Amino acid sequence: MKKICFLLLSFIFAGFLQAQGASTFNFTFNHIALSVKDVDRSADFYKKVLKLNEITNKTKIDGIRWLSLGEGKELHLISILKESVTINKALHFALTTSDFDSFIKVLDEMKISYSDWPGTPQKINIRADGIKQIFFQDPDGYWIELNSVAQK
């Protein structure tokens, strides 16, 4: 009888541990931080090209500027670290706009080059799901993907 009780308690305890390990944390995206050489030049780029609004840098540390990506999401530009960063196109962040074609005109007017994923200059890629996308770089070489909302 003691063996049966011990075995039953072992199964119950194992089930409890398994249930504890299966919990979720419900993460949401908060911000992206980029290491930049010149924080003012980078902030100007994001404000002029993407029309991002600057928000309060709550760290109060010089060399850091914060910009709003909307919906409580933020872009933090940090120029206080001097280590080099290796950048390739796979390291990018993506933004979606319902006014894709107008934004392409803005890039053309500002003489900012863009490409499709393979790198063909000034070419718009259309994915298999019908979404248009392009890639361009900020002053530090970070890749930014811009895509359209799903085509109906």
- pLDDT, position 24: 83
* Cβ neighbours, 10 Å, residue 20: 8
- pTM of the predicted structure, to 2 decimals: 0.79
The pLDDT tens digits for 43-55 are 999 999 999 999 9
| d(C-alpha 88, C-alpha 81), whole Å | 20
Task: Please enumerate in sequence order all residues whose Cβ is within 8 A of that of 94, keeping only pairs 6 or more positions apart, or say none.
Answer: 133, 144, 145, 146, 147
For 100-144, write each residue's pLDDT tens digit: 999 999 999 999 999 999 999 999 999 999 999 999 999 999 999
The total of other beta-carbon atoms located within 10 Å of residue 6's CB is: 10
Encoded tokens for 95: 């933004």
Q: CA torsion sign, 32 to 38 to 40 to 45?
A: negative
